[in-house]
Structure 1
Amino acid sequence: MPDALFSAYLEPNDPTPLYLQVGHHISGLIGKDERFMDRLPSEAELCRLYGVSRITVRQALSYLAKRDVIVRQHGRGTFVGAVHRPGRQKTIHSFFEILADKGLRPRMTLLDYRLQPAPEDVARGFGEQGDVLFIRRGYRSAEGPLGVTEVFYPGHLAKMVTPELAGSKTSSTILKDIFKFQISHADISIGLTQAADDVSEWLNIARGSVLLKIKRVTACKGQGICEYSRLLVTEGAADFQIKADGEMLSEGMLHD
């Protein structure tokens, strides 16, 4: 019998194919649901949970495998892809730098700059209430839009980052050269999200389209959490590897 929490997510009348709905839901569960941490449930169990056919489940898993979200091992089962597990880096790299290394000649545009109340998770990480600085940047090349980054800084640092700086300097440059902080580590998590109106407008995609979301929480020595950032790109636009020492290598487009 289907699990109500799983089957309720599916919309049979939605134009999105059923296998994509299942695939998107599975991706959102990775690292959050104890059944979707290192290893996924069997095909038979997924069929039961979602109340769908084995063909639908196999199509969903093939979709995720092509995007390296999961790895299917014959005779062993289905496992979470290595780069889609929560991870920790000791070095951070800007989305702009990685795009430039790929010869894409990116242009960075400041889309939003304002002080605003901190979202709950950001306030908890910064350990302070009140306003935080929010910066949104868009990246594009001659071929079109590439991605959007959203960054939060503690409010007491806002006076050090003018709109001019926010529109011309990457987040890693601001941390190192403007704040003069020494990075301790950065925790990375990866999932899917739906595009908000302003983000979808910049990326020239339909409202509510599925985006790959890469969240980075950066800690600096003597400062604690000093930055929250997230990169939003369309599916398939980001391919990368994380080496054993935490350094990120791009094979496509990635991170700010």
Structure 2
Amino acid sequence: MPHAVFSSDLDPNGPTPLYLQVGHHISGLIGKDSRFMDRLPSEAELCQMYGVSRITVRQALSYLAERDVVVRQHGRGTFVGALHRPGRQQTIHSFFEILAGKGLSPEMTLLDYRMRQPPEEVAKALSLKDDALFIRRGYRSEQGPLGVTEVFYPASLVRMVTPELAGRTTSTSILQDIFKFRISHADVSIGLSRASQNVAEWLKVDPGTALMRIKRVTTCVGQGACEYSRLLVTEGTADFRITAEGEMLSEGAL
């Protein structure tokens, strides 16, 4: 039997029933782990992941279904409930395209290009075991800096993305025009991040300043999750909304 990757998160001898521990853990992974974005792994796969019996998994899923966290469909599997599903797009647009659509004439500058160990969240999203290609770009207009994008690619794509290409081509164009990948979907979430030293220097803010973060994990047909990107902008730079269909739109001042 494969290694139970989540068994260390459970306490079989604790006061909380095992099925509730599994249910709470699954709930915490929804929208954060690439395996729990829309459709959950099968019961057999969950048994292997947690090292528990099928009865325990079924009790955990029933518990989540009663609370509308998941929806169980006979013969099809278990899906994330509508209220807990992250924003999902069928098409993607680069920050450059959004800015240009607002009537600006943005300039894009390559700030960083290197292989590096990805953060745990990135490694999970892209199913990485080794280093990833990291690209940071800065955007500005005549009015000043507008934002920063940070993108991670699996190492297998490095030979196709040279520094010269990364400096003159957006990530969206690289995926669709250079790689010729067909976008399956992109999962989008919005939150806050603290400005790192490098990002703060470009945006002309103090390190640690709160920034709006728009995270996107792009899945391509036949490739799986192939890109993890973050857009970092200062408060008031851009406003976004998620439509009922999961499409991310920009509105307000850029």
TM-score, length basis structure 1:
0.64
1:131 paired residue number: 131
The 3-state SS of whatever aligns with 2:201 is helix
The one-letter code sitting in structure 1 at the alignment partner of 2:159 is K
- Deviations along 1:27-77, one digit per CA (max 9) or x if unpaired, are xxxx99xxxxxxxxxxxxxxxxxxxxxxxxxxxxxxxxxxxxxxxxxxxxx
Contact 2:88 2:247 in 1 (8 A): no
The code of the aligned residue for 2:218 comes to T
Shift >4 Å, 4+ stretches: none
TM-superposed CA distance for 1:119, in Å, is: 1.8
The 8 Å contact of residues 123 and 129 in structure 1, kept in 2 or not, is answered as yes
Matched, 1:93 2:93: yes
Instruction: Give, in whole Å, the separation in 2 of the partners of 1:120 and 1:87.
Output: 21
> 1:202 is matched with which residue?
202
Contact 2:87 2:247 in 1 (8 A): no
Equivalent residue, structure 2, for 1:103? 103
Larger radius of gyration: 2
State whether residues 238 and 253 of structure 1, in contact with CA within 8 Å, keep that contact through their aligned partners in structure 2. yes
Q: TM-score, normalised by structure 2?
A: 0.64
Deviation at 1:253, TM superposition (A): 6.0
Give the conservation status (yes or no) of the 8 Å contact 2:240–2:248. Answer: yes
Contact 1:241 1:249 in 2 (8 A): yes
User: Which sections of structure 1, spanning at least 5 residues, go unmatched?
Assistant: 1-30, 33-84
Distance 1:202 1:93 in 2: 22
Q: Distance in 2 between matches of 1:245 and 1:169?
A: 29
Amino acid corresponding to residue 162 of structure 2 in structure 1: T
Q: Output one character per residue of 1:149-182: Cα deviation in whole Å (capped at 9) or x when no partner.
A: 0000000101100111101111110100111111
* Mapping of residues 1-256 of structure 1, within 5 Å: 86-252=86-252
Q: Percent identity?
A: 70
Q: 1:242 to 1:205 in 2, by over 3 A?
A: same
SS at match of 2:180: coil
User: Which amino acid letter does the alignment assign opposite residue 102 of structure 1?
Assistant: K
- Cα 1:177–1:160, aligned 2, differ >3 Å: closer, same or farther? same
Structure 2 stretches of 5 or more lacking a match?
Answer: 1-30, 33-84
Number of residue pairs aligned between Structure 1 and Structure 2: 172
Letter in 2 for 1:95: F
CA distance in 2, matches of 1:124, 1:239: 28
